[in-house]
A and B are shown apart, each in its own frame.
Chain A
Amino acid sequence: MLIIKNLNVYYGKVHALKHVSLHLNRGEIVTLIGANGAGKTTLLNTLSSLLPVASGEIFLEGNPVAGLAADRVVSLGLSQVPEGRQVFNPLTVEENLELGAYLRYRAREPKSQIVADLERMFAMFPRLKERRRQAAGTLSGGEQQMLAIGRALMARPKLLLLDEPSMGLAPLVVQEIFRVIERLRSEEGTTILLVEQNARAALKVADRGYVLETGKVMLEGDASELLKNKDVQRAYLGRDKQEIEAAGLA
């Protein structure tokens, strides 16, 4: 589905991604974990063509992505839910969702299909339906996150990039977001690349994971294995050395 080969990206003068290689299979949820500044968001923004590729290759279903304009990437089937939601505050909930299908309108797709998808989003996120005529800026953080996800789904992406979907949300809302992510895979068959600070929750929903440190892939493997990995536990799951050793003895 997605293949990244030996990718190098500079963010200003900083060498932000160093020889990164990774891949996603169709229908997989893959998570990218790492500390702040490890290059996770840089990777997603490079995939969305918001940042230029210095060297390396990116293929989405065999199509080269590097160097394309941002709107071409979306039309190839890659949509991003950006960090901090970034919904269009002054526009209504419904308008935000419609704009998710902007390229489908431009491609003159029958309006009935787009409206059907709009109703599908409202079925998936009933609270958005209640607020469809409200300005997006008046929604709660969790609702805005749902809207941002819905907006991305309106493009009918094959691959969805989710950047920190749980950031700044209450624990109950975070649970809801992760349930949505699981449903997207099971009901829609969407392939998902998930970037999360909340590594534990991310590894629980994911099939596989990559650990990024200062722009390099340090570790990769099945999510369940990464959850058990001692280095991952210490660095990202908040367990200290003694706890891990105690657990190992028990």
Chain B
Amino acid sequence: MEFFNQITQYAISGLSTGAIYALIGLSFAIIFNSTGIINFAQGEFVMLGGVLAIVSITALHLPMPAAVAVAVVGTTAVGLAFERLAIRPLKNATPLSLIIVTIGASILIRGLVMLIWGKDTKALPPFSGDTPIEVAGATILPQHLWIFAVTLLVIVASRLFFHHTITGKAMRACSFNRRAASLVGIGVGRMVLLSFLISSALGALAGVIIAPLTMTAYDVGVMLGLKGFCAAIMGGMGSGFGTVLGGLILGVLESLGAGLISSGYKDAIAFFILLLILFVRPQGLFKKGETDRV
């Protein structure tokens, strides 16, 4: 019974970090689908979300909802500036050089935050207290519930956006065939900008909701970003359920591995999975082979 309770506990905390990976994975996929680049600054957006929320609360004494809004809007503004200043001017660059630009941007953002904010690790207070709730012998923190709720909300909202609004459909069309998209009058540049906005907002949101559980420092984005990337790879870089499932599986495996074997292996597990998938199923775990008609 003791063992079973332990497993449940690991599963719950695994699912909640997995949900975060899923959100970050989705934000990777959105930019990848519209531009063909992997944005390695994605993790910094997650870090910025957490940092901006903490600054809003401790320095500006804003209430929590306002702090969350500041974090998301502020990070989205950084995403906008990033696209305008670093991506758009390099119109005809290859994806590879753009990817290198994103790595540069990630180092720059991390460095600036370190200079301004320092190297301290700080925590955001939980959204609604930290009285644990007992479920099936395991304890759930209210923050876990927040994470599950927000993740669910994001999944539903993105499904609605991509399948039931003309802008969302245009983004999907654009990611499949840019040329044909511009022939029906879709402004491809606009879609790329939009993908950066959505993606940075999503990253920030992930960073805010996990900050109360894991604490935040200027360099948390590196690991979170890579884990999210791993989730996106598991989902085949699609912006749908595959990536969400990939994130959840990754989170649970990591948490079980850390609990049952050794917490030292936590990150190793994630990267072992990442390499395994890149070698064996680079198209993702759940993607069926697509056939094109000519």
Contacts and interface: CB of A to CB of B under 8 A. Distances in A.
Given A99-B169, A99-B170, A168-B294, A91 B176 contact: yes
Nearest to B175: A90
B173 A105 contact: no
A102 B166 contact: yes
B184 A102 contact: yes
B176 A100 contact: no
B183 A99 contact: no
Residue from the set A75, A95, A96, A144 with the largest chain B CB neighbour count within 10 Å:
A95
B184 A155 contact: yes
B179 A50 contact: yes
B258 interface: no
B180 interface: yes
B261 to A, nearest CB: 40
B293 A74 contact: no
B293 A98 contact: no
Contacts of B184: 74, 79, 99-100, 102-103, 151-152, 155
B258 to A, nearest CB: 37
B176 A90 contact: yes
Interface in B171-187: 172-173, 176-177, 179-187
Given A137-B290, A155-B184, A155-B185, A98 B166 contact: yes
Nearest to B163: A95
A90 B163 CA distance: 12
A71 B166 CA distance: 16
B166 A87 contact: no
Contacts of A80: 183
Interface in B117-159: none
A25 interface: no
A84 B292 contact: no
Given A99-B173, A137-B293, A74 B166 contact: no
A75 B186 CA distance: 11
Contacts of A82: 179-180, 183
Contacts of B179: 50, 82, 86
Interface residues of B, number: 21
Given A70-B183, A88-B172, A100-B184, A144 B177 contact: no
Contact of A70 (B170, B176, B185, B292): B185
Contacts of A102: 166, 170, 184-186
A213 B21 CA distance: 57
A73 to B, nearest CB: 8
A217 B183 CA distance: 25
Interface residues of A, number: 34
Given A98-B166, A99-B166, A102-B166, A89 B292 contact: yes
A71 B185 contact: yes
Nearest to A74: B185
Interface string A55-84: 000000000000001110011000110101
A141 interface: yes
A44 to B, nearest CB: 10
Contacts of B181: 88, 99
Contacts of B166: 98-99, 102, 105-106
Contacts of A79: 183-184
Given A71-B187, A141-B293, A168-B294, A91 B182 contact: no
B284 to A, nearest CB: 15
A151 B177 CA distance: 14
Contacts of A155: 184-185
Nearest to B172: A91
Contacts of A84: 294
Given A91-B173, A99-B173, A144-B293, A86 B180 contact: yes
Interface string A145-179: 00000011001000000000000100000000000
Given A71-B185, A74-B183, A88 B173 contact: yes
Given A71-B185, A99-B173, 14 more contacts: A70-B182, A84-B294, A86-B177, A88-B181, A99-B169, A99-B170, A100-B184, A103-B184, A105-B166, A106-B166, A106-B185, A137-B291, A151-B184, A168-B294
9 contacts: A74-B183, A74-B184, A82-B180, A86-B180, A91-B173, A103-B185, A137-B292, A141-B293, A151-B184
Cβ-closest 3 pairs across A and B = A74-B185, A86-B180, A70-B182
